[in-house]
């Protein structure tokens, strides 16, 4: 059977763009549809603009720290519109690069919505039908909302927060994951009064407990109000701002903006997936096998739409594996084990491998190495912020099972440490590596004495 294209990609985010480009370089005829802006959540209103906001928020501490090193810094002010304009310019530049790279690879771009009408066909918003040998869904995810919350329409999500016309002087943030935690640090750094509200006892569920405790202590030190074990009961517009009321008895908080960062849901509604027989999970995620194939053999899916590991580099790797496997004659699958990740909080977190809780649940013997200290810069600046480094080691094989860091440049460190952990490095190999002095990272190869040891479980 003859098709209009070999591959039709729905979604111009990180995973879809990578798949389209690689497939095209392998000689496939590819068409990609994107209804919003090229680059997806990460580039347009996610990782990239958020990291720029993180940078902007750090300068106030840099100015304060300078005094300890002999610098005299005059009164510093922050202008939100100037920063937002600079941020938007950079995002526009990146969006252009994404589109340009696709065009150079020979990918045809349709700047409109596409829906699936059959196992091998899609319909564009302009009415055209395109047939394809394979269809790849890479539509990502969208912010979750609470439709039952009175006054919920007064809130913003992680989409709108990047486009505010003015900086909120008071902001309440709901959530305890990456997005909520990162924006709490951003707005606190920019001088806003921040209240972080989470339904659990600690932020960053699923992270190592010591990391969670450490960051919460650092946030409290920075003046961020942490309201745990709490949810909203209502939000009301008043003459003084938005009054946030709670279910469990905390007093009302008044803010200029309320950011809902309570999770994300796969962006799969209205794509026609169910009608053609693609199996979806209860939250709308696309069910796929290890090769990103759905229940319909000609339809694949990658990235957050599958709700496997919702990180940009994972979507990119999945898209690349898909294209190599189907069009490049080099079948392989993305490995979702031992993924390094960073939370761009302030201080930031870098983590890879098992948490202490996960390691102990395996029943194996576990040695724990842990250190907390003031980074060298803070000793002169007078800043009280401390750094945490933690290694989890198999007590019998000596293999490093997990590395957890909270402190300056933790994300940069964990990228490199992640290579060693992925390769199965042992604690002895860490110890045999010469330290780089003076750095904070040298602590990773100089911790000699375990802070705790756990024997193998009797059941194992």
For 231, the token pair is 């949810």
CA distance 374 to 196: 25
Residue 250: per-residue pLDDT: 87
Residue 460: per-residue pLDDT: 58
Asked if the domains 5-142+265-327 and 341-454 are classified in one and the same CATH topology, the answer is: no
Percent of all residues in the chain with a pLDDT value above 90, rounded to a whole number: 95
Per the annotation, the verdict on 437 as an active-site residue is yes
Kindly state the average pLDDT of the residues 236-257: 95
Report the candidate in 88, 96, 72, 15 with the shortest Cα–Cα distance to residue 306. 15
Cis peptide preceding 422, ω within 30 of 0 = no
Q: Provide the CATH topology of domain 5-142+265-327.
A: FAD/NAD(P)-binding domain (3.50.50)
Residue 1: per-residue pLDDT: 81
Q: β-strands 170-174, 193-197: how paired?
A: parallel
pLDDT tier at 147, thresholds 50, 70, 90: confident
Under a CB-based contact definition with an 8 Å cutoff, are residues 402 and 351 in contact?
yes
- What is the value of pTM for the model shown? 0.94
Kindly state the average pLDDT of the residues 2-27: 97
CA distance 181 to 230: 16
Spell out the residues 6+ positions from residue 330 whose beta carbon is closer than 8 angstroms to its own.
324
- Phi and psi torsions of 281, nearest 5°: -80, 180
Residue 21: per-residue pLDDT: 97
- Which residue is associated with the tokens 């990456």? 178
Chain mean pLDDT for the chain: 96
Kindly state the average pLDDT of the residues 230-239: 96
Q: Which one is catalytic: 60, 163, 320, 437?
A: 437
Q: Tell me, rounded to whole angstroms, the distance of Cα 443 from its chain centroid.
A: 26
Tens digit of each residue's pLDDT (9 = 90 or more) over 390-430: 999 999 999 999 999 999 999 999 999 999 999 999 999 99
pLDDT tier at 249, thresholds 50, 70, 90: confident
Q: CATH number of the domain at 152-262, please?
A: 3.50.50.60
Kindly state the average pLDDT of the residues 195-207: 97
Q: Is the pLDDT of residue 102 over 80?
A: yes
- Which residue is associated with the tokens 């960062």? 261
Q: Is the pLDDT of residue 458 over 70?
A: no
pLDDT tier at 459, thresholds 50, 70, 90: low
Q: What is the CA radius of gyration of the chain?
A: 24
For 23, the token pair is 């497939």
Kindly state the average pLDDT of the residues 166-175: 98
Tens digit of each residue's pLDDT (9 = 90 or more) over 58-83: 999 999 999 999 999 989 999 999 99
CA distance 349 to 383: 18
CA distance 266 to 219: 30
* Angle, helices 47-66/178-189, rounded to nearest 10 degrees: 40
Domain limits, the chain: 5-142+265-327, 152-262, 341-454
CA distance 175 to 161: 15
Tens digit of each residue's pLDDT (9 = 90 or more) over 363-390: 999 999 999 999 999 999 999 999 999 9
Q: Is the pLDDT of residue 336 over 70?
A: yes
> Is the domain defined by 341-454 classed in CATH 3.30.390.30?
yes
Q: Roughly how many angstroms between the first and final C-alpha of the chain, as a whole number?
A: 56
For 130, the token pair is 């395109």
């Amino acid at each position: 059977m003859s098709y209009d294209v070999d591959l039709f990609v729905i979604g111009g985010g990180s995973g879809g763009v990578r798949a389209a480009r690689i497939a095209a370089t392998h000689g496939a005829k590819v068409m990609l549809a994107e209804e919003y802006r090229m680059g997806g959540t990460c580039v347009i209103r996610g990782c990239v603009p958020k990291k720029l906001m993180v940078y902007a928020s750090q300068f106030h501490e840099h100015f304060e720290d300078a005094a300890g090193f002999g610098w005299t810094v005059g009164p510093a002010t922050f202008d939100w519109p100037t920063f937002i304009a600079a941020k938007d310019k950079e995002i526009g530049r990146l969006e252009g690069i994404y589109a340009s790279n696709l065009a150079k690879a020979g990918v045809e771009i349709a700047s409109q919505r596409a829906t699936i009408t059959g196992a091998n066909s899609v319909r564009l918003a302009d009415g055209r039908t395109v047939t394809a040998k394979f269809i790849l869904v890479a539509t990502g995810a969208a912010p979750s909302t609470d439709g039952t919350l009175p006054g919920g329409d007064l809130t913003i999500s992680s989409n709108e927060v990047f486009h505010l016309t003015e900086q909120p002087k008071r902001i309440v943030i709901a959530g305890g994951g990456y997005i909520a935690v990162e924006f709490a640090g951003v707005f606190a750094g920019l001088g806003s009064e921040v209240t972080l509200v989470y339904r659990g006892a600690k932020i960053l569920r699923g992270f190592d407990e010591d990391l969670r405790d450490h960051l919460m202590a650092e946030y409290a030190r920075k003046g961020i109000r942490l309201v745990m074990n709490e949810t909203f009961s209502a939000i009301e517009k008043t003459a003084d701002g938005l009054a946030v009321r709670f279910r469990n008895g905390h007093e009302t908080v008044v803010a200029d903006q309320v950011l809902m960062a309570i999770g994300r849901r796969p962006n799969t509604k209205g794509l026609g997936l169910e009608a053609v027989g693609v199996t979806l999970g209860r939250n709308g995620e696309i069910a796929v096998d290890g090769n990103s194939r759905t229940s319909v053999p000609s339809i694949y899916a990658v990235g957050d739409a599958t709700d496997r590991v919702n990180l940009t580099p994972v979507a990119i790797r999945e898209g690349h594996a898909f294209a190599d496997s189907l069009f490049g004659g080099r079948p392989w699958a993305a490995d979702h084990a031992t993924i390094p990740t960073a939370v761009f909080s302030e201080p930031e977190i870098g983590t890879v491998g098992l948490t202490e809780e996960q390691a102990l649940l395996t029943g194996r013997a576990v040695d724990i190495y842990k250190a907390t200290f003031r980074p060298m810069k803070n000793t002169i600046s007078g800043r009280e912020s401390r750094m945490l480094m933690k290694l989890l080691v198999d007590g019998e094989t000596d293999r490093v099972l997990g590395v957890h860091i909270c402190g300056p440049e933790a994300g940069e460190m964990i990228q490199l440490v992640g290579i060693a952990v992925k390769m199965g490095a042992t604690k002895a190999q860490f110890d045999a590596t010469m330290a780089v002095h003076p750095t904070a990272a040298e602590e990773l190869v100089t911790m000699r004495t375990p802070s705790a040891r756990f024997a193998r479980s009797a059941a194992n």
